[in-house]
Homo-oligomer: A and B are copies of this chain.
């Protein structure tokens, strides 16, 4: 096996919080037990193929800056094999249990659809062997239905049935590949499912077509016995001016409207929720409250820049807020924390890939420890219990059960008069959280 990362000869180790070694973990200690489960099993880290092995540092104003040794500019199967070797070496050196991919990340398009399928199948078989050798598993797979020119106007929402058919065929093989590799989930991110101008768009028709697309996916999964979880990933805009899967609530509405609710959960991405104008913990809670928290594409955005910056999730406070939601709702289930994040274009070295992932993993591990401590101490949960205590009995209990009515509530007011206004104690609670950081 070629060594693509000689600078980091051994897997990254946990050295504790006092280490000054920038290539060690300070918090992530995979086997450490937190609330009865290892950190590994809580966090279920995954490294993504696209940013980490396909992205070369280009941006809308500049060319590639990452000169990765696994690229030879042939876009060939041989190149894909080299990339795969590099990927598995990196997964192992980072010590993550999972990875994720789009079909076109791992294998190149061929001269026609049949050839593309053969390329994919070849790489999938090779991935299967590498997974077995390394113990690395597939968190989820997906199809790239947005980069190729044919998807300019969308895939499952394309105005042209021919393109729609192409997307369906491609999704079929991506689901099959995910199944073949034991993927625990399959993700739909609709990068071009949206529009540039409503003047040329029939939104309702496009959404109906997309619903049919997803029903076909459900049927196909059943047919082949794929029991992984289907996930939809919301994003409000970019690349299109307006994308259909804006945020968790929008996706849930779509799922309910088209009888798809039972088959899908949400793949939440923090940077997407902030683009939608929501604090991450809000959108995550919307999904979780509906029993639909599927997985997290762990990253962060820039609070001043209005596009997807896909930075590593190193904001400790933000991560604690996220882990509080995750722990409160019983963990990530079949999902995980997938680093849909990339080093800055100016972090041109291979070693920067390590720094970046260490930062993300350590920050999330630290957040797990902190969130669990907050939960264990119980102060925060008691505050919330107290705040809603009036709904536990009397008129409040009747309200909660949907057993009251306006006349009864008016009578209550006439008898009890003006309610007291109680402080929400926001500043005290924010100080409390800070005391754990």
Q: What copy number does this chain have within its complex? A: 4
Q: Is the CB of A239 within 8 A of B306?
A: no
Asked whether any CB of chain B lies closer than 8 Å to the CB of A395, the reply is yes
Q: Which residue of B lies closest to A252 (CB)?
A: B253
Asked whether any CB of chain B lies closer than 8 Å to the CB of A279, the reply is yes
8 CB contacts below 8 A, A to B, read A62-B192, A64-B149, A65-B149, A152-B345, A165-B409, A201-B384, A212-B402, A247-B250
Q: Is the CB of B202 within 8 A of A169?
A: no
Q: Is the CB of B112 within 8 A of A239?
A: no
Expressed in whole angstroms, the Cα–Cα distance for A363 and B212 within the complex equals 41
Q: For residues 382 through 434 of chain A, which have their beta carbon under 8 Å from a beta carbon of chain B? A: 383-384, 387-388, 390-391, 394-396, 399-400, 402, 404-407, 409-410, 412-414, 416-434
Q: Is the CB of B316 within 8 A of A348?
A: no
CB distance from A219 to the nearest CB of B (A): 6
Asked whether any CB of chain B lies closer than 8 Å to the CB of A37, the reply is no
Q: Indicate whether A391 sits within 8 Å of B205 (C-beta atoms), given known contacts A216-B405, A426-B346.
A: yes
Q: Which residue of B lies closest to A406 (CB)?
A: B172
Q: Which residue of B lies closest to A55 (CB)?
A: B60
Q: Is the CB of A289 within 8 A of B207?
A: yes
Q: Is the CB of A146 within 8 A of B62?
A: yes
Q: Is the CB of B307 within 8 A of A306?
A: yes
Expressed in whole angstroms, the Cα–Cα distance for A190 and B208 within the complex equals 30
8 further contact pairs, Cβ within 8 A, besides A160-B390, A355-B425: A57-B152, A64-B149, A159-B390, A203-B286, A216-B406, A236-B277, A249-B254, A250-B253
Q: For residues 193 through 228 of chain A, which have their beta carbon under 8 Å from a beta carbon of chain B? A: 196-205, 207-209, 212, 215-217, 219-220
Q: Is the CB of A423 within 8 A of B349?
A: yes
For A150, what are the chain B residues with a Cβ–Cβ distance below 8 Å?
418-419, 421
